[in-house]
Amino acid sequence: MLSGYRLEVIVGCMSAGKSSELIRRIERARLAYLPTIIVRPITDTRSKPNHVESRNGLTSHALVVESARDILKYSSHAVVIGLDECQFFDDELIPVVQTLLRQKKKIIASGLDLDYKGETFGQVPTLMAMADRVDKLLAVCRKCGSDFACRTQRLVHSDEQILVGDCQYEARCIHCFEPPGEYQLRLELPLAETNPPQLAIVQGPATAATVAS
């Protein structure tokens, strides 16, 4: 039986290094001859078929499944199980993870904790609550260059929660993150040369100055 952490969760925004950290931890287990697998949902199309791929070029073989239930089909011989892009797994992920934990397996799960709106994404928050170790990785903000990017800014118009493609997103810190409504509004309606509305607050008898506009 393995000692130490049993459910490790790696979260963060895009470009924070989640997949490379997942691959690093799985490779570390492989060096100790522990049987490992990495599983990812079919929704993630960034990686090559049957691989998990990080943006810095690390790759590892991965099983691609259509539903979270399918993880159990491949996990019987594995001792350490990596789950990548967990935000795209269906709701069955949680009972599947509970089953794997009862089977005394070690799980290392990674995924986006927040979607493009800055709202919680899929089953990842529940995994974080269940985990005995959570690492929230930060990226470098593409707008201001700070080391504290924790939001994924969508750069195109779409109200779909899932829209796969690196060029449609960038990592932003919380100060530079623009919620989609505000961002799309700015794109559609570039600032016009209008004077701000004049506001006169009248207390007591109006004077010439307060009603001048």
Distance, in Å, from the CA atom of 159 to the CA atom of 117, rounded to the nearest integer, reads: 10
- Give the residues lining the site for Zn ion (CB under 5 A): 141, 143-144, 146, 173, 176
Residue in the structure block whose two tokens are 């019987």: 76
Q: How far is the CB of 129 from Zn ion (least distance, A)?
A: 28
State the residue for tokens 């904790």: 113
Strand stretches in 49-205, DSSP E: 51-53, 59-61, 63-65, 80-83, 106-112, 133-137, 149-154, 169-173
Query: Cβ distance 127 to 96 under 8 Å?
Result: no
What is the set of active-site residues? 85
Nearer to Zn ion, 127 or 176 (CB): 176
CB of 14 to Zn ion, least distance (A): 14
The residue type found at 140 is V
Whether the CA torsion 90, 169, 172, 53 is positive or negative: it is positive
Three-state DSSP class for residue 130: helix
C-beta closer to Zn ion: residue 144 or 162: 144
Of 144 and 163, CB closest to Zn ion: 144
What are the percentages of helix, strand and coil residues in the chain, rounded to 5?
25, 25, 50
CB of 20 to Zn ion, least distance (A): 22
Cβ of residue 119: shortest distance to Zn ion, in angstroms?
20
Residue closest to 19 by CA, chosen among 70, 75, 87: 87
C-beta closer to Zn ion: residue 8 or 178: 178
